[in-house]
Chains A and B, each alone.
Chain A
Amino acid sequence: MSEKEIKNLEALFDQRIARDEKIEPKDWMPEKYRKTHIRQISQHAHSEIVGMLPEGNWITRAPSMRRKVALLAKVQDEAGHGLYLYSACETLGISRDELFEQLHTGKAKYSSIFNYPTITWADIGAIGWLVDGAAIINQVPLCSTSYGPYARAMIRVCKEESFHQRQGYEIMMTLAGGSPEQKELAQDALNRWWWPSLMMLGPTDAESVHTEQSMKWKLKRKTNDELRQQFIDQTVPQADLIGLRIPDPDLKWNEETNHYDFGAIDWDEFWQVVKGHGPCNTERLSARIQAWEEGEWVRDAAVAYADKKEDKKLKKAI
C-alpha cells in the first residue's frame, strides 16, 4: 500500500470512530491503533492479575467467615477480569503467552498501586474503597471505547465490579465504627492509600504523553486531572460520613469552582514506583513468574493428554 492510500484509510478510520462506529478485530486499523490498544489492554489485564496479589495476601487471614468468602470471590473476579481483557487483547493478534512474557520480563507495565504492601486488614478495606473507586472512574468511560472487544470486556468488568467497592467501603465503615483500635487501623490505611490512589489516575495532563491520541480513539473520555478531581470530589464526603480524615492539610471545599482544592502530589514517588523502586515491585513480579513457571508442567501435561485422546479417537475412526 502506498503512503497516500494509507493516509486515506486512516482518514476514513478516524471518521468511523468519530461517528461512534465500533472497530472490530478483522477491520483494517492503523498499526499505531493496534499497538496502542495492545499496550493499554494488556496493561489493564496485567493490573488485574497482579492486583490479585496484595489482596490475596489477606484471604487466609480474613477476620470472619463472611469477609473471607467475599474477599475470595472478589480476588477471583479479578482473575476473571484479567482473563476477559487478555482475550480482548488476543483479538489484536498477540497470544496470552506473549503478553505474559512481556509482563515477566518487565517490558509491560501494570498499575503501580499494586506495588504497595497490604500490611493490615484495613488495607483490604482501603483498596476496595479507594483503589476500586479510582478504577471504576477510569473504567466506566471505557465501556463505550472504540475497539469493540475492549468495550465488551469492560461492560462485563464494570457490571461485576459493582460489588467490589461496596465490599471495601463496608469494611472501612465497620472498622471506623468499631473499637478505637479498629478506627486507628482504618485511619492508618486511609493515610497510606490516599496519595497512591490519587496517583493511580495517572500523571498530570501536562506530563501525560498519550492523552490527545487516546481521546481521539475514545480510550479516554476525560483527562487524568479531570478524573482525579472527580475521584476526590466523590470520595471526601464518603470519608466524612464514616468519620475518617483525608490525610491532606490543604484539602478544602472551593465554593467558586464547586470542587475540592487539594495539596501537591509527590510525583517523584510516583515515578520511582513506576520505574520499579516501589516497596513490592520485586515481590509482585516474582510471585507471578513463580506461579507461571511452576505451572508449566501442569499446562504441558494437559496438552499432552488432549493430544493422546485425540489420537485415540482418530485410531478408532480408522
Chain B
Amino acid sequence: MDNSLYNYILGISDNTLILGQRLSELCGHGPNLETDIACTNIALDLLGQTRSYYQYVAKLSEGQSTEDDIAFLRTEREYKNILLVEQPNTNFGYVIIRQFFYDVFHLLLLRELQNSKDETLAAIAKKGIKEVSYHQRFSSDWVKRLGDGTKTSHNKIQEAVDDLWKFTDELFYLTEDDKSAVISGIGVDVSLLKSSYYQIVEEVLQEATLTIPELKWFRKGGKEGIHSEHMGYLLSDLQYMQRTYPNMKW
C-alpha cells in the first residue's frame, strides 16, 4: 500500500470526521429547532464525505483495515486533522466561526481536488463541492448576523474570531506526505490557497463589522498528530464502543 497517499487522504478526511463529530454534539441543543436541523445537516454532509474517503483508504489498504478501523482505532498521534476543527463548542459564536474558517478553506480545497489525477478523490471532491458551497453560505450568513446583530452578539463572535484566528495558518501547511501527493499530481498545494482564503474571510468579516486580528503568531501541530488537550476527550467519546468491545460487528 502507498503509505504516502494513505496519509495524504487522512490529512483531508480527518478534518471532516472531527468537525462532523463536534457538530453532532450539538444535535438537540441548538439555539432553536430550525438552526439545530441546519447544523445537523452540515454534520451529516461532513460525516458522509468522511465515509467516502475512509472507504477508499480501506480499499487501498487491501483488506488491512476497514472504514471503522480507520475512524475509531487509531491513537491520538495518528489523527491528522488540523487544530481548528477539534476546538470545542464554546458557544454558538465559536461554532459558527470554526465552521466559517473551515468552510472557506474546504471549498477552495475541493475545487482544486476535483482536478486530482486520482479519479476517486476527484469524484469525492466534485460531489463535496455542492455540499460545502452551501455550508459556506450558511456560515457566512450567520457570521454577518451575529457580527452585525446586537452588541452582545458582536462581542461574542468577535471573541471567537480573536480566539480561533491563530488556528487558520495551519490550513496552508504541507506535511511531507502532502508534498509528495502534490508532486504526483494527486494532491493540492494548499499553500497556494492562502491569499484567496484570507481575501474571502476578510471580506465577510468586514461586512459583519468585525475586526480582523493582527496576529503574528499561529498555532499548528494537528497535521503532524500533535493535538490540543481537547482532542483526547473527543476521541474517548468517539472510540468508546470500539475500545470497550473490540473486534465486534455493530
Chain A residues at the B interface, C-beta cutoff of 8 Å = 49, 52-53, 56, 59-69, 72-73, 75-76, 79-80, 82-83, 86, 121, 171, 174-175, 178-179, 181-182, 287, 290-291, 294-305, 308
Contacts and interface: CB of A to CB of B under 8 A. Distances in A.
B64 interface: no
Given A174-B249, A294-B92, 9 more contacts: A60-B25, A61-B238, A73-B40, A76-B27, A294-B91, A298-B92, A300-B150, A304-B150, A304-B153
Interface of B: 21, 24-25, 27-37, 40-41, 43-44, 47-48, 50-51, 54, 67-68, 71-72, 91-92, 144-146, 148-150, 152-153, 156, 237-238, 240-242, 245, 248-250
A75 to B, nearest CB: 5
A182 B250 CA distance: 9
Q: Tell me if B's interface is mostly helix, strand, loop or mixed.
A: helix
Contact of A49 (B33, B50, B91): B33
B28 A52 contact: yes
A72 B40 contact: yes
Nearest to B245: A181
Contacts of B148: 305, 308
Given A68-B24, A69-B48, A174-B250, A75 B245 contact: no
B41 A82 contact: no
B33 A67 contact: no
A79 B33 CA distance: 6
B35 A298 contact: yes
Contact of A79 (B24, B37, B145, B245): B37
A53 B36 CA distance: 13
Nearest to A177: B249
Most buried by A among B30, B47, B145: B145
B152 A301 contact: yes
A300 B145 CA distance: 10
Contacts of A181: 245, 248
A68 B156 CA distance: 31
Contacts of B50: 65
Contact of B24 (A60, A174, A179, A290): A60
Q: Tell me if A's interface is mostly helix, strand, loop or mixed.
A: helix
Given A67-B250, A69-B51, A178-B248, A75 B145 contact: no
Given A68-B47, A73-B44, A302-B145, A297 B33 contact: no
Contacts of B48: 69
B73 to A, nearest CB: 11
17 contacts: A59-B27, A60-B24, A65-B67, A72-B47, A73-B40, A75-B27, A75-B40, A79-B37, A121-B241, A174-B249, A182-B245, A287-B28, A294-B91, A297-B153, A298-B153, A300-B152, A302-B149
Contacts of B47: 65, 68-69, 72
Contacts of B44: 69, 72-73, 76
Contact of B146 (A59, A65, A301): A301
Given A60-B21, A72-B27, A79 B40 contact: yes
B43 A72 contact: yes
A207 to B, nearest CB: 32
A301 B156 CA distance: 11
B32 to A, nearest CB: 6
A284 to B, nearest CB: 10
A291 B28 contact: yes
A67 B250 CA distance: 8
A142 to B, nearest CB: 20
Contacts of A290: 29
Given A76-B37, A300-B152, A63 B27 contact: no
